[in-house]
Structure 1
Amino acid sequence: MPDKITVAGVPVDTRHWIGGRRVASGDTFTDVSPIDGSVLGEISRGTPAEAAAAVAAAKAAFPAWAATSRAERARILHAVADGVDKRLEELAVVETTDNGALLRSHRRGVMPRVAHNFRFFADWLLTLEHEDFETRGHRNHVSWDPAGPSVLITPWNAPLMLATWKVAPALAAGNTVVLKPAEWSPLTASLLADIAAAAGLPAGVLNVVQGYGSEIGDALTSHPDVRRISFTGSVPTARRIAASAATQLTPLSLELGGKSPLLVFADADLDLAVDLAVEQYDNAGQVCLAATRLLVQESIAEEFTRRFVEKASRLTQGDPRDEATDIGPTIHPRQLEKIDGFVRRATAAGARAVIGGHAEDGRYYAPTLLTDVAQDSEIVQEEVFGPVLTLQTLSLIRADRVTDRLVAGTVWVNCFFVRDLQAPFGGSRLSGVGREGGTWSFDFYCDLKNTVTAPEGWQDHG
């Protein structure tokens, strides 16, 4: 197995990154591009031994990194961001080749956000404080102490952006990291290890272990030396991680599946509502916070549907490297089969495909809108994670009731996907546990400590 492969003209190391050096496994897994099914390379397939080695490296590096001043940690994270900027085009083309998302999106939005993740948390670290307060003359001082080695398990739909959404605050907090990227899109995590090392991040502070969660997940999440676990993915996998972490009572942050609604009332700007609804097909529908349930007030449902179909029909689906493409391929044939299964079962149960409803060319799923769906049906209740939306109608009375009872981590009004890293982000109920962003990230990745100091000469212990 070659140690490096070339992807879109960019050399990428296929080995793990553990303790500041490259480590190969005895076995590999095949990484395939969703664009055309071509084999990109054979990637080191981690075992529990590599998982344990990565945790050991993170544990060994933790005391020195935790003791590193805030200013120095922030300086290194800014250097990592600079490295991302310098290699932005390489990161964009590699990730597009690896996961099939639009190249124009990676260039203009996703990779700049990767650099911003590091800069934001580096700067936030320097402002992190809680005003001291008094209790009967005693001073209370709140501090954020680094928690320890953190295992970060990230998904395939926005690999590097979502990885650095976790890596950046964990490192800023003074923790060391073991990053486990998704096996369907592992390549930019390997490039991140190179960028971080070049920026001066000490050996062992960031480790990257590739492979299948079913083979190395438990070795990471049940390890007694792991102090934090952050995971983005499905509810069933989260349940397994939570059960594994329970053996050590390791704190978890879980960002899970979504089935969010887009509510359109009769007084809405209909053109804006349609634009936002069609936007839910972004990244071929492979977005955890996509509003895949369109709930439209009855009096405007017919006109909304007409305008939606007209606009959605103009979307261009094809090669994500083409600037004219709006929707790229599905990440993997297994995911395509899963999406198609959802739609076939829904139509068999009486749903009607207003547009789409079928796969194309074995790699693409046509943008789909289903109507005549029951509230308790699988297609309405379960996350599809593909370009499939459902449309249901709301009566005026029901609309008022729904808005009063929203349970959600984020609510957008007359907009969508407006994100600020200082805001809390996460799901409610089965969509997630915990919040990250701004100070909430540091609350998770740190052990909060309150130090109470008696005034000088104080003797009364009552």
Structure 2
Amino acid sequence: MDNRNIDIAGVAISPDHYIDGRRVASAETFELFSPIDQRLLGRVSEGLDEHVDAAIRAAAQAFPAWSALDAATRKPYLDRFAAEIGKRADALCQVESNDAGVLLSRMRHGVVPRAMLNITWFAEHALTLQQRPIETEQAHHRVRHDPAGVVVIITPWNAPLMLSTWKLGPALAAGNCCVLKPPEWAPLTCSLLADAAHAAGLPPGVFNVVQGTGARAGAKLVSDPRIARVSFTGSVPTAKWIAQAAGANLVPCSLELGGKSPFIVLDDADLDNAAATGALMYRNAGQVCLAGTRFLVHERIAERFIDTMRGYVERLNIGDPRDEATEVGPIIHPRQVERVNGFVERAVAGGARLLWGGQPHPFGAQYYQPTMLTNLQQHDEIVQNEVFGPVLTLQTFASDEEAIALANGTDYGLGGVCYGAQDHAVAVADRVRTGFIWVNSFGIRDLAAPFGGIKRSGIGREGGDWSFEFFCDVKDIVVPKKPFRASFSQR
């Protein structure tokens, strides 16, 4: 075993980049700490200009051969990739739980199976995209989805394994070669992902991992003129910078950004079900972009709803994410704890009322109490801006029109939840300006369906054909049905 490896629960993780099918160390490193107990996990190679250049060069060199394969020939590589992820299931669960604070139970029962599906589903779906015919009066059209080239993928710290595979699946299945930059606060499962790709026999250069900070490795990656696409999930300020840097080279970007989604409870809702679902918004310590964080509750039922939801929240198990019984774990980093607490303190100072929570949790330094604030105005900072922690707000409304106005009254538009009698809830959901909204449910996802936001919540959609529309160059081959004769009047 390489004595430079990081050891977590007996799992050896390389701290180095993965470039052109081999591990590459850096002369510079950065420290990595666990959010569970702040212990030092190890030192990770920092991505310097030379590593970014090598990874992009390797991907560009691998692209002609990989893109020349048809989808059916690429599929066995990707099926083996998913199988290798499955073989490492226990390791991936232990490592991401320690590295990112994600619940071990959620990793085992949700994230790892979904990561495998992200690869196999898109490999299968790519088979349906070959040369779609369109018949018109004048011509036969054959529409091709050709791979774009070198793709840069940048993922966030709240779900590094799931979101990396969510992007890698369609990008690789389409015939692109990828450079993945993991989050600097939680990079280790992406290193194990490189091991899985290597064991699966993906050709050198098809998949590369460059670790490091966004300001250094990330900035160099997205501004390189050799890349063809950038897929990013993260914050709005970072997305703006990425879009400017990539835009200088006219490189298309897919940007899945923050959320400030409404959780609407109508006066004919099943209150117990709505309240139980509401407690789920504290999952992953509230570090979930698609969570409904702004509760909008009809004034006639508000007190009953608050009492019911309080009962569910009081029963939440807060603690070590490696314990299967834990339901709320730590916040990723001390800086994020400060940010979350700052939002709450400023809100209370401005007149907000705490319904529950409102301060760090005694379990540990990076744990925060599930919190709900009310007595708020629509323009308040905590109503308008993403907190990304276990902090929710509650406002009341008197009519559907008011609920819809409040729901649409932020610059975000990622997701939403609406509880009520089904026809009533659907009618309200129809008028909420957002990328998706769950009616009397939460978290139902299908890889064939579109995912993404509007306004400041992002640009583009992921899932199904939408992923391939982004990761491919769509080409129309036009063959006339009648002999064609050129004319100056032809347009």
TM-score (norm 2): 0.92
Correspondence 1:391 to 2:417: no
CA positional deviation for 1:3: 3.1
Deviations 1:273-324 (A, max 9, x none): 1011111001100001110000000000010001111110111100011111
Aligned CA distance change for structure 1 residues 156 and 397 (closer, same or farther; 3 Å): closer
Q: Structure 1: where are the runs of 5+ without partners?
A: none
Equivalent residue number for residue 103 of structure 2: 102
Question: Residue 399 of structure 1: CA displacement?
Answer: 4.6
Mean CA deviation greater in 211-220 or 429-438: 211-220
Aligned-partner Cα distance in 1 for 2:298–2:481: 63
Q: Could you say which residue in structure 2 is the equivalent of 1:236?
A: 237
How far has the Cα of 1:397 moved from its partner? 4.5
Q: What residue number does 2:458 align with?
A: 432
Partner in structure 1 of residue 262 of structure 2: 261
Query: Any stretches of 5+ residues in structure 2 without a counterpart?
Result: 406-427
Task: State the secondary structure of the residue aligned to 2:215.
Answer: helix
Do 1:5 and 1:13's aligned partners in 2 also have CA atoms closer than 8 Å? yes
Structure 2 counterpart of 1:427, one-letter code: G
Q: Which residue of 2 aligns with 1:451?
A: 477
**Pairwise CA distance, 1:381:** 0.4
Amino acid at match of 1:195: A
Paired amino acid for 1:278: A
Q: 2:384 is matched with which residue: 381, 390, 394?
A: 381
Paired letter, 2:431: R
Q: 1:90-127 deviations in whole A, cap 9, x for unaligned?
A: 11011101011110110111111000100110110112
Structure 1 residues 297-308: aligned runs within 5 Å:
297-308=298-309
Confirm whether residue 352 of structure 1 aligns to residue 353 of structure 2: yes
CA–CA separation in structure 2 for the residues paired with 1:323 and 1:376: 40
Take 1:210 and 1:419, find their aligned partners in 2: how far apart are those partners?
29
Equivalent residue number for residue 118 of structure 2:
117
User: Deviation at 1:210?
Assistant: 0.3
Determine whether 1:365 maps to 2:364. no
User: Which residue of 1 is the match for residue 4 of structure 2?
Assistant: 3
> Is residue 418 of structure 2 the alignment partner of residue 418 of structure 1?
no
Matching residue's letter, 1:436: E
- Preserved contact between residue 397 and residue 403 of structure 2 (Cα < 8 Å): no
1:459 Cα deviation after fit: 4.2
Partner of 2:207: 206
Paired AA for residue 294 in structure 1: F
Distance 2:292 2:482 in 1: 58
**Native 8 Å contact 2:295 2:394 kept in 1:** yes
Q: 1:86 Cα shift? A: 1.1
Contact 1:61–1:176, Cα closer than 8 Å, also in 2: yes
Query: Following TM superposition, by how much is the alpha carbon of 1:364 offset from its aligned partner in structure 2, in angstroms?
Result: 0.1
SS of residue matched to 1:364: coil
Q: Secondary structure at the match of 1:292?
A: strand
User: Using the alignment, how far apart are the partners of 1:24 and 1:88 within structure 2?
Assistant: 26
AA at the equivalent of 1:187: L
| Contact 2:461/2:467 (8 A) holds in 1 | yes
Cα drift, residue 41 of structure 1:
0.7
- Is the CA contact 2:355–2:372 (under 8 Å) kept in the aligned structure 1? yes
Matches within 5 A, 1:25-424: 25-129=26-130, 131-360=132-361, 361-399=364-402, 401-402=404-405, 403=428, 405-424=431-450
CA distance in 2, matches of 1:460, 1:185: 60
SS in 1 for 2:203: coil
- Kindly tell me the number of residue pairs found equivalent between the two proteins: 462
Per-residue deviation at 1:8? Answer: 1.3
SS in 2 for 1:426: coil
Deviation for aligned residue 1:222: 1.0
* Change in 2 beyond 3 A, CA 1:14/1:133: same
How far 1:455 moved relative to its partner? 3.8
CA–CA distance in structure 2, aligned partners of residues 125 and 337 of structure 1: 44
Amino acid at match of 1:126: L
Contact 1:25 1:44 in 2 (8 A): yes
Residue 265 of structure 1 contacts residue 399 of structure 1 at CA under 8 Å; is this kept in 2? no
Distance (Å, rounded) in 2 between the aligned partners of 1:448 and 1:3: 45
Please say if residues 131 and 145 of structure 2, whose CA atoms lie closer than 8 Å, have aligned partners that are also in contact. Answer: no
Contact 2:404 2:432 in 1 (8 A): no
- 1:297 touches 1:399 (CA, 8 Å); kept in 2? no
1:177 and 1:407 map into 2 onto residues whose CA distance is 33
